[in-house]
């Protein structure tokens, strides 16, 4: 009868529209959960950075852990963005930036405030003029200041010099979602993949164009010159989102990633142990600062792929052990934030005996306090439902 309600639920139509959004990325929505192995890898990486800053002789190449962090970040952020696009047909940029702010900035501001307080209330050399370093860190421009340094680094970034890597990541978080959304709206899925791969190559060419021994700081700290390490992780996320669960290419990738994950981790650990990647000015340094950074990104991306596709493998299970995964998930950011100011504090106090163990204890305590008192409250706020807004 005309005008009679059909009684048909609108849900199938909605589901159909959501499926259309994910066309070309059939696995995107399914690949958005946490990967315990990656959380454990974060613990290993932050431990390497801490040891490198306290006892560089033990791990002369420990800074390679920052390269691993870059690739993990590019992968995780991109898989979340693709999952949202597959579900909704858009990316809520306002919500994305809000979540990033709540996750990163409050804890960072607490570290900045502590450094400024020490500068104002003590005469410790490590915290002189820390207010300038705090301003640079809070505005995520430490990497830009360091990139412009000639000769040795100045002490203007002081106890917060390590936040250069956070600046690189934050600048990437600002630009990559915009670029990815543009590609998703304008291009076929295959073109998105090809463009991401092409973007991985551009920083290498740019590093070759820039390279000379005086440009080492510029290359090491620049977001444009380190973008391939973040984009390598993004490329892994795009590739995996493109492959259906029954795609034979996925099975091949799973098999080879499983075989290569352990050698990849071993190569990264060997580099940290034996290769002083940021010293010297010869052929080795030139190679490292041009193609070497992409090589590390490739190795890191191989490891990330193996942990994603082979959660049943021994390496994944080892890195997924509850203590490792919990620390990586909840404390790694706080450990990274606090370890370097504590290293500087102990150095300015003249502590030499037991410096590594003292740094580990104090850093862990501060990371736990940061997690319980700052990070978790803000993360809960970020999870609260908000009024729906138009998709960007």
Q: Is residue 277 pLDDT above 70, yes or no?
A: yes
The whole-chain average pLDDT of the chain stands at 91
pLDDT tens across 28-52, in order?
988 767 899 999 999 999 999 999 9
Q: Which of 107-121, 170-184, 191-205, 268-282 has the lowest mean pLDDT?
A: 268-282
197 CB burial (10 A radius; 0-12, 13-18, 19+)? middle
* Predicted local distance difference test score (pLDDT) of residue 13: 42
pLDDT tens across 124-160, in order?
999 998 999 999 999 999 999 999 988 788 889 999 9
Model confidence band, residue 21 (pLDDT cutoffs 50, 70, 90):
low
Q: Are 46 and 65 in contact (CB under 8 A)?
A: yes
* Predicted local distance difference test score (pLDDT) of residue 3: 44
Torsion of the alpha carbons at 182, 185, 186 and 190, rounded to the nearest 10: 100
Q: Is residue 392 pLDDT above 50, yes or no?
A: no
Q: Is residue 9 pLDDT above 60, yes or no?
A: no
Residue 391: alpha-carbon gap to chain centroid: 25
* Predicted local distance difference test score (pLDDT) of residue 5: 44
Task: Give the C-alpha separation, 199 to 187, whole Å.
Answer: 15
pLDDT tens across 78-100, in order?
999 999 999 999 999 999 999 99
Q: Is residue 1 pLDDT above 80, yes or no?
A: no
* Predicted local distance difference test score (pLDDT) of residue 153: 86
User: Mean pLDDT throughout 58-86?
Assistant: 96
Prediction pTM value: 0.91
Q: Distances in Å between the alpha carbon of 206 and those of 165, 233, 299?
A: 19, 19, 21
Q: Where are the domains of the chain?
A: 30-380
Q: Residue 282's closest CA among 218, 213, 328, 347?
A: 213
Q: Is residue 6 pLDDT above 50, yes or no?
A: no
* Predicted local distance difference test score (pLDDT) of residue 10: 42
* Predicted local distance difference test score (pLDDT) of residue 2: 41
* Predicted local distance difference test score (pLDDT) of residue 385: 60
pLDDT tens across 320-376, in order?
999 999 999 999 999 999 999 999 999 999 999 999 999 999 999 999 999 999 999
């Amino acid at each position: 009868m005309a005008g009679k309600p059909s009684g048909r639920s609108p849900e199938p139509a909605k589901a159909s529209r959501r499926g259309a959004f994910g066309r070309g990325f059939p696995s995107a929505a399914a690949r958005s959960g946490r990967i315990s192995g990656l959380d454990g890898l974060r613990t290993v990486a932050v431990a390497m950075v801490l040891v490198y800053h306290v006892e560089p002789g033990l791990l002369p190449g420990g800074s390679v852990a920052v390269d691993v962090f870059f690739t993990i970040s590019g992968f995780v952020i991109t898989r979340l963005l693709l999952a949202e696009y597959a579900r909704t047909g858009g990316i809520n940029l306002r919500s994305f930036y809000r979540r990033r702010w709540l996750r990163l900035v409050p804890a960072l501001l607490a570290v900045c405030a502590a450094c400024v307080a020490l500068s104002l209330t003590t005469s410790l050399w490590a915290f002189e003029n820390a207010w300038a370093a705090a301003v640079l860190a809070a505005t995520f421009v430490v990497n830009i200041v360091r990139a412009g340094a000639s000769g040795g680094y100045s002490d203007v970034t002081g106890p917060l010099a390590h936040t250069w890597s956070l600046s690189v990541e934050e600048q990437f978080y600002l630009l990559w979602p915009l670029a990815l959304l543009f590609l998703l709206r304008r291009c076929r899925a295959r073109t998105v993949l090809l463009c991401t791969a092409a973007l991985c190559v551009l920083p290498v060419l740019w590093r070759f164009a820039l390279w000379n021994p005086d440009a080492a700081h510029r290359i090491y700290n620049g977001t444009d010159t380190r973008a391939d390490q973040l984009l390598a992780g993004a490329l892994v996320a795009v590739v995996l989102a493109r492959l259906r669960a029954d795609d034979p290419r996925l099975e091949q990738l799973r098999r080879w990633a499983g075989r290569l994950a352990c050698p990849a981790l071993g190569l990264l650990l060997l580099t940290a142990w034996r290769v002083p990647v940021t010293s010297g000015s010869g052929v080795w340094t030139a190679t490292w600062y041009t193609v070497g950074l992409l090589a590390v990104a490739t190795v890191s991306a191989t490891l990330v792929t193996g942990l994603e596709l082979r959660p049943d493998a021994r390496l994944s299970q080892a890195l997924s052990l509850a203590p490792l995964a919990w620390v990586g998930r909840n404390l790694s950011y706080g450990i990274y934030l606090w370890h370097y100011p504590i290293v500087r504090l102990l150095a300015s106090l003249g502590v030499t005996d037991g410096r590594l163990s003292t740094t580990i204890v104090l850093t862990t305590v501060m990371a736990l306090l940061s997690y319980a008192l700052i990070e978790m409250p803000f993360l809960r706020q970020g999870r609260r439902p908000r009024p729906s807004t138009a998709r960007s």
